[in-house]
Amino acid sequence: MNILVLGSGGREHALAWALAKSPRTTELYVAPGNGGTAHVATNITGLDINNGEAVLGFARDHAIDLVVIGPEAPLVAGVADVLRAADIMVFGPDAQGAQLEGSKTYSKQFMVDNNIPTARYASFSDEAAARAYCEELGAPLVVKADGLAAGKGVIIAEKLEDALQAVSDCFSGAFGDAGSTVVIEEMLTGPECSLLAFVTGGQAFCMAPAQDHKRAYDGDLGPNTGGMGVYSPVPIVTQEEMAEMVRIMEVAAAATACPPFEHDYRGCLYGGFMLTPEGPKVLEFNARFGDPETQVVLPRLESDLVDIMEAVALGKPEDIELSWSEDWAVSVVLASDGYPGSYEKGKVILGIEEAEDQNKTIVFHAGTTLNADGELVTNGGRVLNVVALGSTFEKARDRAYRGVECINFEGKQFRTDIGKRALEGRSAWE
């Protein structure tokens, strides 16, 4: 089978790595890819992955059997719609399904309509009305730009003045068109975790939960990032909480196969949860694999990913069988100095082979490329994901940090406390 993966991050490297392991994979392409995907696939530069017709043209020229869409932007742009209309198998929802991520207002209304537990909210396209609502509710609040903002359009406001400033920033264009509508929510309390599910035919096939570390610095301090480390499964999640999260994902999946949806959702649905004292509540839905969650979930998948994605793309839930390793997985993100603010690119990276020589250690590339001399260099804020597996949480965590020590580049930045709170237990969040 000839397969095309769209995207360039750590998520796409993990997807390509898992697809490359399948005996069913003949040719594997990643557009545009990165320095890591180049080792398992052919990188395709110059293809506009948000343009459905351009992707379709490439697919036809290269006899592509399956297209796997990694990031949210091509999904919201309707790339899957164009490909399906041309009878090419696609892993990823159509534009309507992708609105579960593309519009926070749309997503919140979906939750309300389907009795999915979530935070109280209101949506505004008028700044004065939004400010008045903030003043009425009082802090703490969460202010969200409605549209896609590259993971940066969510502001947690502990004080009223911070909430008002966030509203002002949204409407003044800080997040582009994404901030022309603003969603304001009550702030929920508790640990966060993610649950991904393969969804097709109105059914959800849940993966193991994962827990990301969004803040830049140790102790969960500093600005929000795209994720600085993650592990799976999540030791603090109780059986009751897991059962409720699975139930919610099944409710959401079933709803996507009913009106007003014209077509059933076929792809990965990401549930972002807060484990509140009242039980799990949904913070957000994403219409694709999470990053960095994918990097710890897929290495634990023992089933053939090509088989699963084909079944999802064809709307055949009866063909999906998931098998998982008992190992724990921990990932530590290596970032460029200054991230998530400004940072320099082009720093030579050494030591990846040494890290991967360790037992059960994989390095997924996020922001890397090859320079004119063929050297691997940094090319983004989040540079590498050092992933390790182990029979216990502690073994996986220790292996991941031994891998981190092997790798060097100028300005290497990482958190030293990934998984620390999980080892301390639920009380660490109180």
The CA distance from 361 to 363, in Å, is 7
- What fold does the segment set 328-424 form as a domain? Glycinamide Ribonucleotide Synthetase; Chain A, domain 4 (3.90.600)
From start to end of 93-200, where are the E strands? 121-124, 141-145, 154-157, 182-186, 192-200
Q: Give every CB contact of residue 47 below 8 A, 6+ residues apart in sequence.
A: 31, 32, 54, 55, 58
Q: Give every CB contact of residue 223 below 8 A, 6+ residues apart in sequence.
A: 215, 216, 340, 341
Taking residues 135-147, what's their average pLDDT? 88
Domain over 2-94 is classified CATH 3.40.640.10: no
pLDDT band at 146 (very low <50, low <70, confident <90, very high): confident
In angstroms, how far is CA 54 from the centroid of its own chain? 25
Which residue did the predictor score with more confidence, 417 or 175? 417
- Contact between 183 and 144 under an 8 Å Cβ cutoff? The reply is yes
As a whole number of Å, the CA-based R_g of the chain is 21
Comparing 218-227, 279-288, 298-307, 399-408, the range with the smallest average pLDDT is: 218-227
Domain ranges of the chain: 2-94, 126-180, 192-319, 328-424
Same fold, 2-94 and 328-424: no
- Contact between 331 and 403 under an 8 Å Cβ cutoff? The reply is no
CATH number of 126-180: 3.30.1490.20
In angstroms, how far is CA 121 from the centroid of its own chain? 23
Q: Give every CB contact of residue 321 below 8 A, 6+ residues apart in sequence.
A: 303
Mean pLDDT score of the chain: 94
Pick from 351, 332, 350: which is nearest to 413 by CA?
332
pLDDT band at 223 (very low <50, low <70, confident <90, very high): confident
Q: Spell out the CATH class of 192-319.
A: alpha beta
pLDDT band at 139 (very low <50, low <70, confident <90, very high): confident
- Could you give the 3-state DSSP secondary structure of residue 193? strand
Residue 170 burial class via C-beta count within 10 angstroms: exposed 0-12, middle 13-18, buried 19 and up? buried
- Contact between 146 and 178 under an 8 Å Cβ cutoff? The reply is yes
- Contact between 324 and 316 under an 8 Å Cβ cutoff? The reply is no
Q: What is the predicted pLDDT for the residue at 319?
A: 97
